[in-house]
Structure 1
Amino acid sequence: MTMQDEQFEILAFLASHEPFRELDGPTLQRLAESVDVRYFKGGSPIVEFGQDAQFWHIVRSGVVEVFRRDGTLYNRVTEGAYFGEFGLLHRKRVRFPARAAEDTLLYLVPEPVFTQLFETHELFADKVEIEDRTRLRQAVLRQQTDSGLLSADVQSLLQGEAVTIPESATAREAAQRMTEHDVSSLLVVRPDPDTGRPVLAGIVTDRDIRSRLVAGCRDMDTPVVRIATQDVIAIDHNRLVFEAMMLMLRHNVHHLPVLAKREPVGVLAMSDIVRLESQSSLFVVAGINRAASVEELAVLAREARASFVKMVEGDLSSRIVGSTLSAIGRAFKQRLLELAEQRFGPPPVPYCFLALGSMARQEQLVVTDQDNALILDNSYDEAVHDAYFEQLARFVCDGLAQCGYAYCTGGVMASNRQWRQPLRVWEARFREWIENPTPESLLHSNIFFDIDGVAGRTEWADSLRAMVARHARAHPRFLASMARNALLRTPPLGFFKDFVLEVDGRHSAAINLKRRGTAPLSDLIRVHALGIGSEALNSFDRLDEVVEAGALPPGRGPALHDALEFISMVRIRNQARDLKGGREPDNSIEPDQLSEFERKSLRDAFTILSHAQDYLKFRFQSARGPERPR
């Protein structure tokens, strides 16, 4: 067959299949002329994850299997189908490895040819992107697929069966068993009164034997249960590694018992997760916990940013990135509080240090300020006790500023006396804000109704959050006011759905992805969550509960999820790109920096936000209460 005959055959084949039918004759001719024909023997690899994406692949004959990053099968494609567009549209790297399932002949379209077709032929681009899913759904599914080992289940990291010891055993027997099995921890078990099967009663580690037995001068025949930690943080075997990491970060534990139907099946150690990534966020938190001064903490702030870049390069989802950075921020606050108490002495009355806003929602990024407050015990006497708490709060807020968490321009910090008050004052304020909403109190509600305890009597924060959940849904006028407030920030779309740009910081014409994207999304999700009495904090968790309650029309919840995830990831990647380029990151991006696929997907996300704001206005349009979805 001559070269001319071969190109004619390629042209005829392309013209008989979608999406090439959308192309005009001359364009189709140029495409056929650019095609490289390659043969792959059955079982041989075609592309590997992470390599440069150089071609778009069209199956002429044979079968190709496309895999997810974790090795599971993603798709099987046969004659006339295509693959590889994800990598070409996303950083020009292969996202899904592929191999020939049988002897296969492929047409390879060079990346520049594919990109030019995609950007200049809209119908062709839509066919390639959409098929049976929307463009935005594809973008988010690709991100979820690329989230790596942190999205695996906990059981996949277990190195062996659980090593246990009955609670009736002695410390000597525990040490002997740990030596025998070469482990640094043992799970203490007792028989379940109903089934007789072993259930978790505690955990004992090398450190417990050193600090509670040897240093405590106890006898080796001391019952092991007396040196074990009994109030144990544990996780179910089918939860995500990411969730395990969050538990370890939040509670500062190095060993996490893993349960299946309440029965211990193993222990996940911090080292197991640290192996997943260099510059691990767990490693950063361990360094924070050991820091002896604010100066040492400030050095670790650079490590936190390096960990952020590492997570973004690993294609982790916005949920994982935001939760991890929030946990790192909590660790900074906790260590600063410990250093403050070392300097100023123990607190005269109990307190709870609060995280507010994005940190409380577990959505914090590297561009952030500090929103915090103090709940004090009801025995607090301002004249007697405030000097201590003013010193403590100022030390923590100044320390956070040195670690890269800018002072809140609105003064919402514990160093401001207005925001360090007894529990009874906070309860009265929250009730007043709900029962008598004003423009000022609505602004406070947007901040303080995202509230989480960081240190001290954290149950006080939980009780305030539960009170808001009960109280807000019973006050439709408050919900209607919050809804109107959530509509003040609109997506940057013009009349013809083109981007409305603004001068923003160092950018001459840009979109502020927080002010015009993620912030209005989290605002409207918060209102829906308050309307159903949800106590969830994270926007994705709130959205799940709103959908489960039937408070949104069918399909609206998943669309909002995708919009929030995609805008968040564009914002996150932009910040990581700035850090790698030696620039101070911000929340703005110029659309010209995005690929055509990303611009279209971002426009889709902003359109979903616009429609969601229309529905919010409809649902909470009066003080009568929320309407049911139609």
Structure 2
Amino acid sequence: MTNTIAERILDFLKGFPPFDYLSYDELLHISTQIKVLYYEKGDHIFKQNEALHDYFYVVKDGAVGLYSDNTLIDECDEGDIFGLRAVIRKDLYLLNAIAEEESIIYGIPAKSIDDIIINNLQANQFILASFATNTRHPYSSENKGKLFANETILQPNASSFTEVQSASFSKNPITCQPIITIKEASVIMSQSNIGSIIITENNRPIGIITDKDLRHKIATGKHDISEHVTAIMSAPVITFPKHITVAEAQIAMLNHGISHLCITKDGTINSELVGILSEHDIIVIHGNNPSVLIKEIKRASSANQLQMIMQKAQLLMKNYIEQNIPVGFITNIISAINDAITKRCIQLSIDELQEELPTSFAWLAIGSQGRKEQLLLTDQDNALVYENVQNDAVVKSYFLRLSKAVNNKLNVVGFEFCPAEMMASNPKWCLSVSQWKAQFKNWITHPDEDKILLCNIFFDYDFVFGNHDLVDQMSDSIFEAIDNYEIFLNFMGRNALRNPPPLSFFRNFLVEDSGDHKDQFDIKARAIMPLVDAARLLILSHEIKDINSTMARYKKLGDLEPQNKDLYDSCINAFRILLRFRTQHGLKRNDSGRFIDIKNLNKNDRLKLKGCFKPVKDIQELVKIRFKLSQLL
């Protein structure tokens, strides 16, 4: 006689490791022995220092929090295993396991572990990995149900990955006092055979001189070698604590355009210097890294050369994705490379025009590029702002020619022309600062559907090249206009709710009902953009500028609104998962990754996506309440 309950349990478990490694007969044998348990919210499954149960556990429905005293260590949801380590150790429980909501839990007999270990190598590796690490994947919010040590792609010889390891730095930096001369410092550098010297005061770093400073400031005659080192030192220095990772070092060097980081006792400029980390130190760790690509970009003399570098960057990004590097690291690295390529395209175009710049200007990345969230090569979105001038027509003509040259080069690199012409070569988006201000004011004080859409795109701008002061003036004008017309935020709020939560009443994915993508799920419009739009709206309501990325906006919102921090953190996690999922899908299909064929997803991926949708629903509910939108919908 068929055991229907056991088959239902089997059908559930086979979607999760280590059970997905087992044969049907092995899994059926275990399923017939499983105890089905029900817990109400707040119930303990086991307590800290409690004697070992005869079971380890899997969450069927609901959620279980693992606590050390009152500190939440981890949260387990559908398919997650807990209580396993204690079974392997055959010792007391080290944590409290508490039902976070009504939950159904499968209790799996401890003796079945012996069967798993003996009979199945892959399951054996999973269990041993659990015992060895005592943790799921450290980015488990992105990869529920998998262990870090179980990711075969992270085996030591699988790749050249080094970004999350601690960077090795020189623990005996050469230093000097601010009162010595440049000549004296140069002699010290020469005798020590080093390319930099740190100027310290009371053992604290106040500046740095490198070979580059000597070439550009002394050899050119700008300064005399008899002057004090303070005359040419770069200050303030950029400091980090001892345990800086390779990725953090790379990002800092790329963002600040520097080649040396000072390592101090507490990571601040006000504490004792303990070491120095150079770009060379990073390159020694591995040759194929972002720093090398940035150097190649700076040396590139044509768009075709930049195209080849971009292909390397895309390969680097693909490797990062495959190695499960955190999405935040990946976006920072790829954005820095994209910005460097754009800067080089601009400089090459300025040189080609062979004309003197008529006035100062700033180049802006907008949309996903402006938010530093563009991983896959999609179309380019950019704009240009120039200083107010009297002969506007002549100046605009120059910047339109410059923009066209830049857009053409970016197209060669791999960024397709924007179909909607959201590019600086379009006269609409190449304006003086006063014209941008007037345009923003018009959008804000006379909003309609088209203008709100433009706000969503252009209010995510990011400075790339030129005069940053022009961008600050633009930002100030936005907040000034909003202060005088606060109802604008309500219009933006209504627009942020244009896409409902991605699940239907029956918890099915909302898919496209017609067109080329019929029955496919639009992960951008239905899941990613609602999070993006809400973050933009909420950060604008706090009048915060210069924070453009969605994750950074939610992090700042968590600081500003501690009562909503849990919600904002869940939005960050959901966004990370969705962005990674879209990128993986795009790499697999060699497209934008926007449309997902749900029926081709495995159960784990469907559950992973569905887990992201609650924050989407909750953040939209917060927007609806805060901006009093119920009556407007």
Q: Which runs of 5+ in 2 are unaligned?
A: 1-17, 34-54, 58-81, 91-112, 125-134, 155-160
- 3-state secondary structure, aligned to 1:488: coil
Identity of aligned residues (%): 25
What residue is the counterpart of 2:12 in the other structure? Answer: none
Cα offsets for 1:354-409 (capped at 9, x unmatched)? 11122222211113221111111112522222222111111111111111111122
Amino acid at match of 1:169: I
Structure 1 distance, partners of 2:385, 2:148, is: 39
Pairing partner for 1:607 from 589, 614, 619:
614
Structure 2 distance, partners of 1:435, 1:140, is: 49
Pairing partner for 1:251 from 247, 256, 262:
256
Structure 1 distance, partners of 2:149, 2:227, is: 49
> Cα distance, 1:555 vs. partner?
3.0
Pairing partner for 1:619 from 615, 620, 626:
626
What residue is the counterpart of 1:31 in the other structure? Answer: 30
What residue is the counterpart of 1:37 in the other structure? Answer: none
- Kept in 1, the 8 Å contact 2:180–2:228? The answer is yes
- 3-state secondary structure, aligned to 2:369: coil
- Kept in 2, the 8 Å contact 1:504–1:512? The answer is no
- Quick one: structure 1 residues 522 and 224, their matched pair in 2 at CA, closer, same or farther if it must change by over 3 Å? same
> Cα distance, 1:512 vs. partner?
2.9
- Kept in 1, the 8 Å contact 2:116–2:123? The answer is no
Structure 1 distance, partners of 2:139, 2:291, is: 36
Amino acid at match of 1:429: Q
Pairing partner for 2:577 from 558, 561, 566:
566
Cα offsets for 1:487-526 (capped at 9, x unmatched)? 2234542331122334899977532322222222111111
- Kept in 2, the 8 Å contact 1:284–1:304? The answer is yes
Question: Higher mean Cα deviation, 105-114 or 409-418?
Answer: 105-114
Alignment of 1:340-419 (within 5 A): 340-344=349-353, 345-379=355-389, 381-419=391-429
What residue is the counterpart of 1:319 in the other structure? Answer: 328
In the alignment, does 2:440 pair up with 1:430?
A: yes
- 3-state secondary structure, aligned to 2:368: coil
Pairing partner for 1:79 from 53, 62, 87:
87
- Kept in 2, the 8 Å contact 1:279–1:306? The answer is no
- 3-state secondary structure, aligned to 1:563: helix
In the alignment, does 2:592 pair up with 1:588?
A: no
- 3-state secondary structure, aligned to 2:492: helix
Question: Higher mean Cα deviation, 167-176 or 281-290?
Answer: 167-176
Q: State the TM-score, normalized to the length of structure 1.
A: 0.72
What residue is the counterpart of 1:534 in the other structure? Answer: 544
- Quick one: structure 1 residues 268 and 503, their matched pair in 2 at CA, closer, same or farther if it must change by over 3 Å? farther
- Kept in 1, the 8 Å contact 2:386–2:470? The answer is no
Structure 2 distance, partners of 1:432, 1:238, is: 49
Structure 2 distance, partners of 1:144, 1:619, is: 43
Structure 2 distance, partners of 1:134, 1:308, is: 18
Cα offsets for 1:545-579 (capped at 9, x unmatched)? 2222228646322221221111111112223334x
What residue is the counterpart of 1:203 in the other structure? Answer: 208
- Kept in 1, the 8 Å contact 2:56–2:84? The answer is no
- Kept in 1, the 8 Å contact 2:364–2:384? The answer is yes
Question: Higher mean Cα deviation, 211-220 or 457-466?
Answer: 211-220
- Kept in 2, the 8 Å contact 1:377–1:423? The answer is yes
Q: State the TM-score, normalized to the length of structure 2.
A: 0.72
Cα offsets for 1:51-94 (capped at 9, x unmatched)? xxxxxx989xxxxxxxxxxxxxx999222689xxxxxxxxxxxx
- Quick one: structure 1 residues 257 and 299, their matched pair in 2 at CA, closer, same or farther if it must change by over 3 Å? same
Structure 1 distance, partners of 2:475, 2:277, is: 31
Question: Higher mean Cα deviation, 136-145 or 509-518?
Answer: 136-145
- 3-state secondary structure, aligned to 2:575: helix
Structure 1 distance, partners of 2:304, 2:503, is: 45
Question: Higher mean Cα deviation, 407-416 or 166-175?
Answer: 166-175
Cα offsets for 1:275-305 (capped at 9, x unmatched)? 5555312221211111011221122121111
Amino acid at match of 1:171: I
Amino acid at match of 2:184: E
- Kept in 1, the 8 Å contact 2:624–2:630? The answer is no
> Cα distance, 1:224 vs. partner?
3.1
> Cα distance, 1:143 vs. partner?
8.2
- 3-state secondary structure, aligned to 2:561: coil
Question: Higher mean Cα deviation, 312-321 or 586-595?
Answer: 586-595
- Kept in 1, the 8 Å contact 2:198–2:205? The answer is yes
- 3-state secondary structure, aligned to 2:117: strand
Structure 2 distance, partners of 1:172, 1:76, is: 65
Structure 1 distance, partners of 2:494, 2:149, is: 33
> Cα distance, 1:255 vs. partner?
2.0
Amino acid at match of 2:344: R
In the alignment, does 2:475 pair up with 1:465?
A: yes
> Cα distance, 1:481 vs. partner?
0.6
Amino acid at match of 2:337: I
Alignment of 1:437-448 (within 5 A): 437-448=447-458
- Kept in 2, the 8 Å contact 1:522–1:539? The answer is yes
Amino acid at match of 1:79: V
In the alignment, does 2:147 pair up with 1:162?
A: no
- 3-state secondary structure, aligned to 2:144: helix
Amino acid at match of 2:254: L
Structure 2 distance, partners of 1:593, 1:292, is: 45
Alignment of 1:148-187 (within 5 A): 150-151=163-164, 156-187=167-198
